[in-house]
């Protein structure tokens, strides 16, 4: 069944822009990206939109649909009411390039700041063996498709541009957690740098990153809070303080 859909699309660039109304046909089973493509094909030939796989696995078509950070290829038109106008805008935490396309290079700079996995020196390449139960926790984080919806919704940088210098964001906290939980990683100071260099302490656990994750990674419960607890281990734990272990762990 085909229906007429009221769509509002933000069009513009870094200097100016506005929401523009269009009426477009939407067929049964279509997603928002489909109707954006139809608008592009029939009414706005120069509409810029980033997309790739149309299967929720490449993370390219991140945008905000009725104010919520979402993947356009995974958002069913049918999930909105017949009379409802669907408003699509670019991600509002990052600089816009054109129309629905934003400059997400902030995330790649942050990725480069995270120290890589450090393999044990005594273990030759190919000799590493791990039990499944040791890998499972990290595997959840490897599902990340780098759509950066979590980064977009995180109010630490979304609402405070100045924090971008000192805050890596949820996507990179799961990267740090993945490495810190890795049984073979030998880099010792991930917990301390997570807090002191990557801004873990800026996170106030409001869980928006978890809410928007299209891969349903429990970013807050399984990565950020465990990392905060690991920081408590080395800096604020009463039992360890009394045991005098704090000093020894500082050297790590």
Partner 1 sequence: MSGVFSPGRAKIKERTLRTDKWWLEPAITFGVLFSFVIYATFRAFEGANYYKDHLISPFYSPCLSEACVPEAVILGFAPVSAEILNFALSPALIILIFPLGFRMTCYYYRKAYYRSFWLSPPACAVAEPHTKYTGETRAPLILQNAHRWFFYAGLVFNVILTYDAIISFKSVEGEWGHMSVGSVVLTLSATMLWLYSLSCHTCRHTIGGRLKNFSKHPLRYKLWTRVSFLNHYHQQFAWYSLAAVAFADIYVRQVATGAWTNFYFF
* DSSP reduced 3-state for 173: helix
Q: Is 221 in the site for partner 1 (CB under 8 A)?
A: yes
In the list 21, 27, 159, 250, the residue contacting partner 1 (rule: CB under 8 A) is: 159
Compute, in degrees rounded to 10, the torsion defined by CA atoms 204, 66, 78, 38.
-130
Closer CB to partner 1, 1 or 239, in the complex: 239
Q: How far is the CB of 167 from partner 1 (least distance, A)?
A: 8
Q: How far is the CB of 58 from partner 1 (least distance, A)?
A: 22
In the list 193, 233, 245, 246, the residue contacting partner 1 (rule: CB under 8 A) is: 233
Closer CB to partner 1, 146 or 237, in the complex: 237
DSSP calls for 63-119: EEETTEEEEGGG-BGGGS-TTPPEEEE--TTS-EEETTEE--HHHHHHHHHSPPP--
Q: Which stretch binds partner 1 (CB under 8 A): 42-50, 116-124, 168-176, 205-213?
A: 205-213
154/157 Cα distance (integer angstroms): 6
- What part of residues 1-20 is at the interface with partner 1 (CB under 8 A)? 10, 12, 14, 16-19
Q: How far is the CB of 76 from partner 1 (least distance, A)?
A: 16
Which residues have C-beta within 8 Å of that of residue 241, sequence separation ≥ 6? none
Angle at 160 between CA 157 and CA 165, to 5 degrees: 65
Query: Which residues sit opposite 68 in a β-bridge?
Result: 65
Q: Is 128 in the site for partner 1 (CB under 8 A)?
A: no
CB atoms within 10 A of CB 158: 18
Query: Residue 31 gets which letter from DSSP?
Result: B
249/234 Cα distance (integer angstroms): 6
Closer CB to partner 1, 51 or 94, in the complex: 94
In the list 36, 93, 176, 213, the residue contacting partner 1 (rule: CB under 8 A) is: 93
* DSSP reduced 3-state for 58: coil
Q: Which stretch binds partner 1 (CB under 8 A): 34-42, 71-79, 110-118, 196-204?
A: 196-204
Which residues have C-beta within 8 Å of that of residue 217, sequence separation ≥ 6? 140, 141, 143, 144, 174, 210, 223
> By rule CB under 8 A, what count of residues binds partner 1?
63
Q: How far is the CB of 63 from partner 1 (least distance, A)?
A: 10
In the list 4, 21, 201, 243, the residue contacting partner 1 (rule: CB under 8 A) is: 201
In the list 69, 169, 170, 214, the residue contacting partner 1 (rule: CB under 8 A) is: 69
Binding site residues, partner 1, CB under 8 A: 10, 12, 14, 16-19, 64, 66-69, 84, 87, 89-90, 92-96, 102, 131, 133-134, 152-153, 155-156, 158-163, 181-183, 199, 201-208, 211-212, 221, 225-226, 228-233, 235-239
């Amino acid at each position: 069944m085909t229906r007429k859909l009221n769509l509002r699309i933000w069009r513009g660039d870094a200097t100016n822009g506005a929401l523009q109304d269009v009426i477009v046909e939407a067929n049964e089973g279509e997603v928002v990206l489909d109707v954006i493509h139809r608008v592009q094909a029939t009414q706005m030939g120069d509409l810029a939109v980033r997309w790739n796989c149309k299967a929720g696995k490449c993370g390219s078509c991140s945008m905000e649909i009725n104010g919520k950070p979402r993947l356009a290829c995974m958002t069913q038109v049918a999930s909105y009411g017949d009379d409802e106008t669907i408003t699509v805008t670019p991600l509002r935490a990052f600089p816009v390039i054109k129309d629905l396309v934003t400059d997400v290079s902030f995330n790649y700079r942050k990725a480069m700041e995270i120290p890589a996995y450090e393999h044990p020196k005594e273990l030759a390449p190919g000799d590493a063996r791990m039990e499944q139960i040791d890998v499972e926790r990290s595997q959840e984080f490897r599902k990340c498709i780098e759509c950066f919806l979590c980064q977009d919704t995180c109010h630490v940088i979304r609402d405070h541009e100045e924090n971008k210098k000192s805050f890596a964001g949820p996507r990179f906290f799961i990267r740090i957690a993945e490495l810190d939980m890795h049984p073979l990683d030998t880099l010792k100071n991930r917990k301390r740098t997570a807090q002191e260099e990557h801004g873990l302490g800026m996170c106030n656990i409001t869980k928006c990153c978890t809410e928007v994750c299209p891969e349903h990674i429990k970013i807050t419960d399984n990565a950020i809070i465990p990392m905060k607890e690991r920081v408590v281990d080395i800096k604020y734990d009463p039992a360890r303080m009394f045991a005098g272990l704090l000093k020894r762990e500082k050297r790590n």
